[in-house]
Structure 1
């Protein structure tokens, strides 16, 4: 398919057509339509995602029967009889969505992972992750009422790969300077790394995330070739990379108090050392009565310190969410008092004796379990629950000349193409009775 056989006008745009003759069988491949289906646009809540709960969902129409019919008519005018079933979109192997903008949109994140197109559906569902729910709703309105401006501003592109049948290789070379392109690594190094030694502690899931992001940033910035690496090879590379960068295994019980500052935690308010300090500050255990005495002043002071450090609005926005235990067990004592989120419907009985408030130990423990607090009661004090961590040295990693090197052999070379999303046609072309040619002669492609 090195030569465009002809081009066809279709609903105000031009579609290129390629001819392929293999084993006495002729097929015609056509540029995919890449039309944003505005009727499918909606904003949904992904209850299975903590980091990206707001999803801007929509279909991209890649092909339809009308396009096949127009190409069939154009071929007929050239004296070629062909069935519509032999007129299909380009043989795309992998597809994904991208934002063709220089700056990064703070409100919009694209799932830029490649996905298979082997099923060859006429339409594909894509998602954008939106940070703010109201902004997601506003995007839906913009896409439906003014899709031209919406696509012009967002600059959404449809990318796809095609095999051209040539053997090729790809070199993955990760160095100390390469890993700094990873935003996650930079965050670990700048915000969590020990200032002198650069030590950071990670759980296994976060180590996997780090390895995957380092690889993807390396693959994205690698300009040697645009060869496609299969998912199987990609996962194997990430696994090998993980073995190279993971450090010493260590249990959280081995950490000193000041070393907890170097433990990465996705949600700072769920961090075990912070929760442990909080509970030990506001609760005193009475073994004879099997309950905790609550220190309201300490609670208020602790919340004040959190608001000073992280911002009052940030702390307020976290209240009521699973994992946020601060300030939720306080308040006036009047029988039972609801604490935690409404979803959990958690109650802790409070007992008022004089000027002091008390909590039943078992009910408090149940509350902490439901809140998924990473703390445990030892009988004398609260301690962080045991965690398996991996210790890495971010400073040493940045100075290494070569961290990982691998040459991957690909059996087929894939070329990557990029097309902007189109709006739906404002009118439908009708060439059924046309006697004039509706095509343009093809030309050789470089």
Structure 2
């Protein structure tokens, strides 16, 4: 009798299981849960007697001398792995610009205005708070960013009957928000420029574009070229994640005739599980490890910099996105999707206060290796958790209303069995 085959510990999963894991990580719910889990591990680990081991691993240096790189583990996750996250973000932005909501001014106006106000108002509130308390203005950009993975995970968990237009609005808003964060990182958090390295990175991007233009296929062309562009961008003084965005924007997102999937779509499909399951969680693991002792938490609400971050993310996002959307709909030709009510926009505005990943990254860039930086990290975590809880309460209530309307429609459906969507829209407005 043949003995049962033993599975190797830490070995590769069988192909069907690997496929199942990859598909799960492509959903915002699972990716968001993994992200939150990594942050929780970091918080617990850094507040136990083993916190010194956490710091030693985070600060351990290794490098690639041939590329002029010698970074700590924490910097490898922030500068290296997050480039993969921004590659996926760049592909999504390109898709929105070419075939999505941003391709025409009419459909793009409202989320673009909402995103712009949702960045400007938090930055302004931070500046006012920091200046009033005599603090540093260096962290003005920290509360500007929305964490799309975290926000969509919260929305996916509580949304069973919320309109699809709400998720589409959040996605478009977050894409514009990501573009703003990318520009801020490139322009305001650039150290002394190495023009030779920057020129080399630009030349590499030109080659990358040429390969796409002439329909060259094969990962063996793009992977070495992409790593070289990333290394040159890092050595140029511009944050290395900008390389990921640039390559994402260059990849084609519309398939040629006879081509089933575009290169951008194929890369996003393949890389997204790694981004959601490895890159972003590892960054969170080594970025979210801050002290949550009583004195440290007190600093969040008494020091001007972290307090400005909390006010910016929680209050600033609500005021900026909701008022920006309302004023745009009131005084311009832009119109709110008829499937949405203003109470939905309010819930989405609160949800956008989840600033986790990019906010932590900007916080590290604004306050590198300082005690203020640790307090700002704690502020990002507290503000994101607060926004998630408030949004869950508001959107859960909206979900209950939509579920009730759906059940009423099902009972009162026409003879042909098709619910009247126009009655639903009117009823939603009446329940605001």
- State the TM bucket, normalised to the shorter chain: under 0.3
Q: Higher relative CO (CA 8 A, sep ≥ 6), structure 1 or 2?
A: 2
Q: Say which structure is richer in helix.
A: 2
**What's the TM-score, normalizing by structure 2?**
0.22
